[in-house]
Structure 1
Amino acid sequence: MNEYELKVYEEVVDWKRKLTRRSGMMNRLSKKAQGKINEWIPEKVHAVMTESIKAMVKATLFGSQATTNKDQARGLTLAERDELARKKISTYQKTAVVEGAGTGAGGILLGLADFPLLLSIKMKFLFEAASVYGFDTKDYGERLFILHVFQLAFSSDEIRRKTLSDIENWESRKQVLVEMDWHKFQQEYRDYIDFAKMLQLVPGIGAFVGAYANNNLLKHLGETAMNAYRLRLLQKAPEQD
């Protein structure tokens, strides 16, 4: 029996169980309030935001593709890949903390600049995670998978469950998932992080909030990415000898 793979499989099953659990009351109320706010925003504004985030993400995808070391995990066992992934998460958390503290201390203008900077850090990390677990991001399907991992990490209960189902059945689902629903992608992401980012703009506490929020967001994204790739590598429980 491969004890480590069995342990990881059990961890992934537990992660999926937590992921599909209903959110707490505060999160549900926050989502409901955010939904009302979105209804008040004119459709033209939503369209502009969708195109802006789409352009930002695509630019980041291109840049991350060019700078990721594709061969960094060649020949590693799953245990060694997990260890490397944890080191990457720690590194990117530190980067996000510095960025969040800097923009949070800089007032409203720098606070607004945090959005594309943090998005870039998150996407770069996801490319690194794909490489660590042996997936080639030159393949369009793998870049699409990265966007689904991102959406899995930062979305509401309903979208999270649907995205998890897509990830669990990726080999069949990627044939029909030709393009992201960019409107849903940007709206779910904004709704998820809006509250923390609004607090980041408050003078006096912005730097602390920015550092704390970014650290937690990268930690959450790291856990999501690790388990999403482990899920693809361990589609069924490891056989016992």
Structure 2
Amino acid sequence: MNEYELKVYEEVEEWKRKLTRRSGMMNRLSKKAQGKINEFIPEKVHEVMTESIKAMVKATLFGSQMTTNKDQAHGLTLAERDELAVKKMAAFQKTAMIEGAGTGAGGILLGLADFPLLLSIKMKFLFEAASIYGFNTKEYAERLFILHVFQLAFSSEEIRKSTLAEIENWETRKTVLVEMDWRKFQQEYRDYIDLAKMLQLVPGIGAFVGAYANNNLLKHLGDTAMNAYRLRLLQKSPDPI
């Protein structure tokens, strides 16, 4: 193992420590409040939302699968893959900012349209990340891994910890794959982005909030994806030089 891989291993370990730290007081209170709100939502509404997001995600997975260049990182070193991933992330952040500013400036109707548009941008980036790090998204296990990376990025403390554990043991877990828990998937995602998306609907500041929020959400997803794939490539600590 080379010096760069040792550096990456240490970065991934620090990323894992940050993920498993206890959330701040405000985040815990916010999650508790959102949990109470979800309890008042009728079960039929939860079912409809779950099925809607499930269908939306599966459609974006199919579209991303068709449009991703599978050979873009053939023969690259880990350092070169990281460099390419950072460039891709920056490009997708710009796309998300433009989309967020446009829908944010358009009022409530366009603001609501931001949800599926941003979701498709995020999924497309995750397929690109998988390709860059050498994983074949034609395999069901790899598409399911993408959903776990998404959930890791946009979830509460408890779900984040359990999802990280699944990702760390993916090579074992993928031999006994189960269907995604779509109810948990959609609820965690909605709770994570609700505040930013609600502010995006406010006249006058919607465009700024939309661009800022989308940029940050893509940056967060990009960092999560990079480290998740690096983790799989470096399952054990490389020998120091």
Q: TM-score, normalised by structure 1?
A: 0.99
| Structure-2 separation of matches of 1:115 and 1:92 | 16
Q: Equivalent residue for 1:13?
A: 13
Correspondence 1:51 to 2:60: no
Determine helix, strand or coil for the equivalent of 1:175. helix
1:72 partnered with 2:72 = yes
Give how far 1:239 is off: 1.6
Two-structure CA RMSD over aligned residues (Å): 0.7
Partner residue, 2:110: 110
Work out the CA distance in 2 between the residues paired with 1:29 and 1:208. 26
* Distance in 1, Cα, partners of 2:204 & 2:118: 21
Cα distance in 2 for partners of 1:203, 1:223 equals 31
Equivalent residue number for residue 34 of structure 2: 34
Q: Who is 1:141 aligned against? A: 141
The count of residues paired between Structure 1 and Structure 2 equals: 241
- Report the alpha carbon displacement of residue 100 of structure 1 after superposing the two structures with TM: 0.3
Q: Show the counterpart of 2:207.
A: 207
Q: Alpha-carbon deviation of 1:25?
A: 1.1
Deviant stretches of 4+, over 4 Å: none
Q: CA deviation at 1:5?
A: 0.2
Amino acid corresponding to residue 121 of structure 2 in structure 1:
I
Point out the more displaced range, 49-58 or 170-179.
Answer: 170-179
1-structure distance, mates of 2:89, 2:26: 28
User: What does the per-residue CA deviation read over 1:103-145, in whole Å, with 9 as the maximum and x for residues that have no partner?
Assistant: 0000000000000000000000000000000000000000000
TM-score of the superposed pair, with normalisation by structure 2: 0.99
Measure how far apart 1:29 and its partner are.
Answer: 1.0
For residue 151 of structure 1, report the CA deviation from its aligned partner. Answer: 0.2
1:176 CA displacement: 2.5
Measured in 2, the distance between the counterparts of 1:177 and 1:123 equals 20
% identical equivalent positions: 87
- Listed as ranges, the gaps of 5+ residues in structure 1 are none
Q: What are structure 2's unaligned runs of at least 5 residues?
A: none
Paired amino acid for 2:98: V
Match of 2:236 in 1: 236
